[in-house]
A and B are shown apart, each in its own frame.
Chain A
Amino acid sequence: MTPNDQRLLRESTIRDAVAIRSRRAFFGTTGLSLGSAALYALASGDARASSPTTSGVKTGINAALPMTHFAPKAKNVIYLHMVGGPSQMDLFDYKPKMGEFYDKDLPESIRMGQRLTTMTSGQTRFPIAPSMYKFARQGKSGMWMTELLPYTAKVADELCFIRSMHTEAINHEPAITFIQTGNQITGRPCLGAWTSYGLGSLNQNVPTFVVMVANPTNTEQVQAISARLWQSGYLPGEHAGVSFRSAGDPILYINNPPGVSTEVRRKTLDGLNELNQLTHQRLGDPETQTRIAQYEMAYRMQSSVPDLIDLAKEPAATFEMYGDAAKKPGTFANTVLMARKLVEKGTRFVQIYHNNWDHHGNIAKRMPDQTKDVDQACYGLITDLKKRGMLDETLVIWGGEFGRTIYSQGGVSKTNYGRDHHPRCFTMWMAGGGAKHGVIHGETDDFSYNITKDPVHIRDFHATILHLLGIDHEKFSYRSLGLDQKLTGVEPAKVVKALVT
């Protein structure tokens, strides 16, 4: 507080009736005592330290928001990102009329001059490739689903389908950056980092925000991902995603070196703490105390990880749900099982990447490989979370960075084709965590090319996820480059109420 601030309060205005009224409003009328945080807020003019409301709940350790803005539905998120952009019309967006359009050109009235990637912008024809897969209605919702997802079909009524997602990006790098961070240009924090920043940790013995990169069985058309996707952007560095790995140390450097037992490590730390205490006595720097605490936390993290990755104690029923692939480190099934265990331990946000969905060609081979990787695993995750009573508080998200075109890239035949990137519509699903179940939201035209009903932009999607976490996306910001930066950016974004309970 500057001398002037102090003078102002001292001199006269503290008696200003208006001011008192407004301050009473500011602190609420409950006679809340003025802690140091509030004093800081008052002194620094921190307009973002919003007042607690009765409906919000207390957040975790080191959370930027002391309370959520309102009661959250979800406490945790498991976000399954399908890298490359799954083909919506081969999986969820059933287009029976396309049978009649086989190898006919996409009508110009549908395409409407939309920009294309330079991979197909030179094509002279845009021959329509109807999906070669059979579709059937599933669950009470009657959602049309592909024959390639027999397990997921069994939990169709737990899912909330959005067939009307759309984005502006048409190539992978900007598109994946957009859906993960709310901006096509790199450098912004991702959803997981925002969640960690806002809601804090539930258990400091495990990382708050974990990232896992699953190994797809088929690697014909793997796309680039990058650590930038889970970096913290302008948010403080501790909110970056922590990689949880299937090879080597599960968390980087978590294992003691060879020849160093837990006991030896403990002794090292005991001496280290004593010496650091002396440093603190000598210099009085509070950071020294923080460091001592961080070393202790590191030790506890080391102790908790072996248990976390040990699947030996999992009952046979687990693998009946997730499939035997879950036993093999690095498979998608294994990562989702790990995700459940992490969330159970208190990890707030788990981001999983599953690659090879970029089907420019050879869908006939690639798509069954992809769906085989994820189908039973997704079923297992949802069933498992539900059995454990965790689904209500855990939001599961499934989807890619954009959709694919109804027309084929290159040649087309009835039994094989490829599809280019398509930003104008794609399908995602959510489950648990306050998402409505058995809901089918949004419609597209007969060509799965344009949205005809209830479009959901990436920003709306982000606003909705934050909403489920108890956060008002408009009020959740971080000061950087002189602006109150938000996940949803400056363009309008809305919570899609139809998706939330």
Chain B
Amino acid sequence: MPRSLIALAVVLLASASSVAADKLQYNRDIRPIFAETCFACHGQDSAARKAKLRLDVREAAIEKGAITPSKVDESEMVARLFLADDDEQRMPPPSSHKKLTALQKLTLKQWIAEGAEYQPHWAFIPTAKPGLPKLKNAAWAKNPIDALVLAELEKRGLTPAPEADRRTLARRAALDVIGLPPNPADVEAFVNDKSADAYEKYLDKLLASPHWGEHRGRYWLDAARYGDTHGIHFDNYREMYSYRDWVIRAFNANQRFDQFTIEQLAGDLLPEPSIDQLTATGFNRNNITTNEGGAINEEYLVLYTRDRTETASTVFLGLTTGCAVCHDHKFDPVSQKEFYQLSAFFNNTTQGAMDGNIRDTPPIVFVPSLDDRPKWATFEKQLKEARAKIDARKAMIRPKFDAFLKEQTTASAAEVATENGIQVRAALDGGKGTAELYTAANATAALKLPAGTTWKPGPFGGEAVWVTPKETGPNALEFPKTVGDFEHTQAFSYGAWVLVPQRGQNAGILSKMDNSKSYRGYDLYLENDKFAAHIVDTWPKLGFKVTTTASFNPNNWHHVFVTYDGRGPAGLKIYVNGESQALTIFGDDRTLGNAGEFKAKLGTIKTDVPFTVGRRTGGQQVKGVAIQDLRLYSRSLAAGEVKDLVVATKIAGLIAGDIKKRKPAEVNEIFEWWIAAKDPESTTLSKDYQALKSQEAAFKARGTIAHVSFEKPSMPEAFVLNRGEYDQRKDKVAPGTPAALPPMPADLPRNRLGLAKWLLRPEQPLMARVTVNRFWSELFGTGLVRTAGDFGISGELPSHPELLDHLAIEFRDLNWDVKAFFKMVLLSNTYRQSAATTPEKLEKDSQNRYLSRGPRFRMDAEMVRDYALTASGLLSSKIGGRSVRPYQPIGVWEAVAMPGSDTRNYKPDDGESLYRRSLYTFWKRAAPPASMEIFNAPNRETCAVRRDRTNTPLQALVTLNDVQFIEAARHLAQATLKAEKDTAARLQSIARRILARPFTDKESAIVERSLSAMLAEYKAKPAEAKKLLAVGDSKPDATLDAGESAAWTMLVNQLMNLDEVLCK
């Protein structure tokens, strides 16, 4: 035997001497080995199975001769295990690159010798109330948690740590309950409280704090993958914070966890769901989405459903069902078909594939502000009633209208539209012939239509002139040269109903412009789907262009109208369908000054080319344009007049049109016009309604929206996808739950609500276990099952299986009461232990998995920042609301974002928003908050139930150098300088704020030395001191000495970087 092996044996014998041996257990000792090395080929994935052998089913393994219970020599598996490394017959084969350790081989062999007993996977066995163990030190156990922990400690020859001192405990409990350091006064009160229930009272106060909901909510938001952007490609803003605020409120109201679960998975399916219940369904809407050009809808719909399924599986079942997307799960009893059955529950919502790059991707609902909620319900009713009155009135007078419409066979737009100042009106709706009559200066004239002119259905009734000018030649539609002969100092208006079937064009629709004379004239121009107008003397030197900021699909009929008051670009307006458009003014700076005013006056825009449809004279032709009701006015029409003009021309057109061809929607449109024009009663009702609508707008401005789930009316279904590929559908499946879990009762609906209720059934083994395990990990840093998202076979075994069951049963017995559950754990002696460790404990329980001491670990990203803000007094106590943008180094967003993204430029907020709790920080998924990411915050793209906890130099740089931390240090330093007079008192005051305890003598000596060094430095360098004090948005207190303030700032900065501060 090599010397090293002897040494190993000696070590093992020595350490094992005190441990009682028991029989090998399949779940604990054998399955982990199988899962690691064997199940990939001999597990339940039928497609990957080799030699038709499966080792996960005892009978199957025996039948194939791999295992013969109690007979090692007759078990083929044993023979294969011990073959030489390079022997192809060896198991696992060399080609698998997997290898068993000597100990693993021996374990398998011994297990077969002991009878090869199997056990069902522990997590699928129903929870069982554990018996209370026999303990040596029974007095230590305050409650069953302690008893079960102590039993494990005693088995391992460990003893619990003494109880932590009160200050340590006060700090730890505050950080665990509210996520913030305790108020020094509360700590002192607790320390001095001699009553027996002092600790419990202290806990109760914390549990009643509204910060409880923020802290618990923060963990949940990781699991729910909450973020403030869509996540993919443009990664634009998604207004989602109503969901975040709901989570906080739910925890603060101590909503029972079963109800919390139901509302998130299926709040919309509850009877008459409240706004809160709908908001909760945002849980299913937090997934990342895309709007990338070129993306294929079905591909992303499949991904979204997959994400929801995986998230629900991880959070509520602790199962990594994602593995079954492409094939049967290698380890867990989830077949590929079962994955898609589960996914069918989530495959029936109305959400589309593309998020539209908008903040409010449907389906959404309006969420009034909390203050407005009592009023909103009443108001909404009022609004509905007002609407109902209008409808009732309409119904009443409809017969009268029908009679009117029957009689009315022709109508002239002139009847209703203004004729004041009209110069030309050309209806252009004749529908045949080569000439068309028009009115100019109160006389009718004939307009010759160019060769090739055809007709196209008008916007409503009648045919419209269809002009398709050739590339060269004069065959645009031309009016006599006297028409539209305006000067830029004159007021005039012009426009028509327009349709251009080909998008993306740049050409003049209406113009009196001579391209050959430097574009002199004016026009209505189509510029890449935007409407524009030019007023030009000599382009580009003298002239300007005004363009709509919005784009239009010119392939629909639009009424486009330009009004001009003769006073330059600011006096030019473009109306589309009667709505005044937001405009962009372009012009050479030789012409334009600020605010679109003339700098150099234009000479003239008059030309002797005709007013033309379809092309500027000498310019590029429109590839087809249809025109109807073209008008020129020699004055600037007011906004109301343009609106009336649209309605009038439209209604006139509709009435005059062919009755047989009239669509119901068009009849309704005439009706709407008719009641507005002819029924005063309706007008009054409408005015009332409009008044309410403007109130509604005010409500909306104060409120927000919620992204919600709505179920399609059809039955949920999904397809099994070959290798998970969206375009390779196999069998259609109905919603269903995995066979390995308790069946879904027949009376539960096969939808998300049924699924949620199934999860919460008492026989369900996973839901409660998984939930209490996450709660436990929030307090102890690690779950009893370390792999909090994987309770399957490949996950880790619980360190304390019986404790886990006990907690799960208790949580149910507490009726899913989260606060009561936490209080129970916080009251245990296990939790109250000191975190001080010993070399023995480090050896036997290095990771504190056996809980031989109190929890101590580096706080999460948010807590690190919130801690500094709280200790310094900067933290804002405001709860909820729009996400905020605190300090962030320049360029973090800009480096990755698309130029068109609305989350490209990071502009920090100012004032209170800089000092909000970190869970309110805007979470851009493509670039998560920089300082938090360094502290292992997840990117919130997918569900995360466990965070990494690294310890890196980059983290040190954040807490040493980030503006937020420097400003906090200065704030605390200056506040202390003002409040306390002498150095000793100041130091102790700071210590109480950031450590919740006074300094020890040894510490004081070091701290004082640091302080002296800093004082010497900054007293001597006032300029440097000023620079340091200027860091941050808030102003330093100028009444204090700069050198002293700077020195104390650096001292606090040093102390805020203490390991003790960064760790819970």
Contacts and interface: CB of A to CB of B under 8 A. Distances in A.
Interface stretch (B666-674, B710-718, B931-939, B976-984): B931-939
Contacts of B928: 227
Contact of A274 (B4, B29, B1006): B1006
Nearest to A204: B953
B794 A9 contact: no
Contacts of B960: 253, 256, 265, 268, 295, 298
A395 B29 CA distance: 45
A186 B938 CA distance: 13
A118 B951 contact: no
Interface string B221-239: 0000000000011110000
A6 B962 contact: no
Contact of B896 (A13, A39, A45, A213): A213
Interface stretch (A14-22, A94-102, A425-433, A440-448): A14-22
Contacts of A498: none
B1058 A284 contact: no
Interface in B95-114: 97-107, 109-110
A416 interface: no
Interface string A14-53: 1010111111111100011110000101110111001000
Given A27-B4, A213-B896, A227-B927, A8 B106 contact: yes
A264 interface: yes
B102 A23 contact: yes
A279 B1059 contact: yes
B338 interface: no
B1058 A9 contact: no
Which residue, of A8, A25, A118, A294, has the highest number of chain B Cβ atoms within 10 A?
A8
A252 B963 CA distance: 12
A32 B107 CA distance: 24
Given A34-B4, A173-B232, A257-B1031, A283 B837 contact: yes
A253 B21 contact: no
Which residue, of A117, A228, A290, A483, has the highest number of chain B Cβ atoms within 10 A?
A228
A252 B856 contact: no
Nearest to A289: B1059
Contacts of A41: 101
Interface string B818-829: 000000000000
Interface stretch (B5-13, B257-265, B398-406, B544-552): B5-13
B293 interface: yes
Given A32-B4, A225-B896, A187 B16 contact: no
A196 B115 CA distance: 46
A253 B889 contact: yes
A239 to B, nearest CB: 9
B1030 A258 contact: yes
B236 to A, nearest CB: 11
A362 interface: no
Contacts of A222: 898-899
A34 B102 CA distance: 14
Given A119-B293, A227-B926, A236-B950, A34 B7 contact: yes
A462 interface: no
B4 A259 contact: no
Interface residues of B, number: 142
A260 interface: yes
A495 B660 CA distance: 73
Interface string B879-901: 00000000001111001111101
A117 B82 CA distance: 54
B836 A45 contact: no
Nearest to B156: A3
Contacts of A284: 836-839, 842
Nearest to B1028: A259
A39 B1007 CA distance: 43
Which residue, of B19, B101, B290, B901, has the highest number of chain A Cβ atoms within 10 A?
B101
Contacts, number: 343
A170 interface: yes
B941 A186 contact: yes
Nearest to B1013: A267
Interface in A456-501: 472, 474-475, 481-483
Nearest to A39: B8
A221 to B, nearest CB: 9
Interface in A233-292: 236-238, 242-243, 245-249, 251-261, 263-265, 267-268, 270-272, 274-276, 278-280, 282-288, 290-292
B939 to A, nearest CB: 6
B332 to A, nearest CB: 8
Contacts of A34: 4-5, 7-8
A33 to B, nearest CB: 6
A247 B891 contact: yes
A183 to B, nearest CB: 11
A59 interface: no
Which residue, of A21, A255, A272, has the highest number of chain B Cβ atoms within 10 A?
A272
Contacts of A140: none
A301 to B, nearest CB: 6
B948 interface: yes
A255 B1050 CA distance: 15
Nearest to A474: B97
A294 B948 contact: no
A302 interface: yes
Given A5-B103, A285-B835, A13 B12 contact: no
B1053 interface: yes
Given A13-B106, A23-B102, A47-B36, A271 B858 contact: no
A10 B16 contact: yes
Given A172-B233, A279-B1059, A285-B856, A290 B951 contact: yes
B958 A253 contact: yes
A273 to B, nearest CB: 10
A195 interface: no
Nearest to A274: B1006
Contact of A481 (B794, B842, B1010): B794
A302 B957 contact: yes
Contact of A482 (B37, B794, B1063): B794
B953 A301 contact: yes
A275 B895 contact: no
A114 interface: no
Which residue, of A16, A18, A213, A482, has the highest number of chain B Cβ atoms within 10 A?
A482
29 contacts: A10-B9, A14-B9, A19-B82, A19-B102, A20-B5, A31-B2, A34-B8, A39-B11, A118-B296, A171-B294, A224-B897, A245-B891, A248-B889, A248-B891, A251-B957, A253-B931, A253-B961, A257-B963, A257-B1031, A259-B1024, A260-B1024, A267-B1014, A275-B1007, A278-B1003, A278-B1006, A287-B951, A295-B956, A301-B957, A482-B35
Given A18-B82, A185-B303, A275-B1007, 8 more contacts: A4-B22, A13-B109, A31-B4, A227-B927, A260-B1028, A264-B1050, A481-B794, A482-B793
A-B residue pairs, 4 tightest by C-beta: A482-B794, A259-B1028, A117-B294, A6-B16
Interface of A: 1-11, 13-14, 16, 18-27, 31-34, 39, 41-43, 45-47, 50, 115, 117-119, 170-173, 185-187, 204, 207, 213, 219, 222-228, 231, 236-238, 242-243, 245-249, 251-261, 263-265, 267-268, 270-272, 274-276, 278-280, 282-288, 290-292, 294-295, 297-298, 301-302, 420-421, 472, 474-475, 481-483
